[in-house]
Amino acid sequence: MFCPAWDSWRTPMLRTMLSAKIHRAVVTHANVQYQGSITIDSILLKEAGILPGERVQVVDVDNGARLETYVMEGAAGKGDIQMNGAAARLVKVGDRVIIMAFAALTTEELAGFKPRAVFVDDANHVVETRELDFTSQVGQGDC
């Protein structure tokens, strides 16, 4: 359940929460000379609910690099994950990445909200999609 202290806020507050992620995708291309962004297979975007132009955080599982950029839609079904511009210096072809989008939600919107996670194989094809349930964790700890 929710932390009772959250109900005591007198000023409306937005919380930045994970809304979607593509988990452990393999980077297929990197182009430093290209306009800065990340190009993602359109099937993966649709499955995750991530939109072209949306801000994402990319975490490189292999080297620990983290960066923020925006999404460009790639060709459907090719499994392309391409790092463009300066990001191509931080993330290399063959690295595994977690691509995360976030949403600003009110306390009321948190109730029942579940981010979507897309799990892929080595060719970046969808293996499983599921909603993540953090509600059991909310309200524990420092409430």
Which position among 34, 37, 42, 136 bears the catalytic label?
37
Say how far apart CA 88 and CA 80 lie, in whole Å: 14
34 is catalytic: no
Q: In what order do the strands lie in the sheet with 37-41?
A: 29-31, 81-84, 37-41, 66-74, 55-60, 96-106, 14-26, 116-120, 126-131
DSSP 14: E
Q: Taking the CA atoms of 15, 20, 23 and 28 in sequence, report the sign of the dihedral they define.
A: negative
37 is catalytic: yes
User: Does an H or E element contain 40, and which?
Assistant: strand 37-41
A 10 A CB-CB count for 118 gives 24
Which position among 8, 19, 34, 70 bears the catalytic label?
70
Phi, psi of 68 (to 5 degrees): -115, 140
| Residues with a known catalytic role | 37, 70
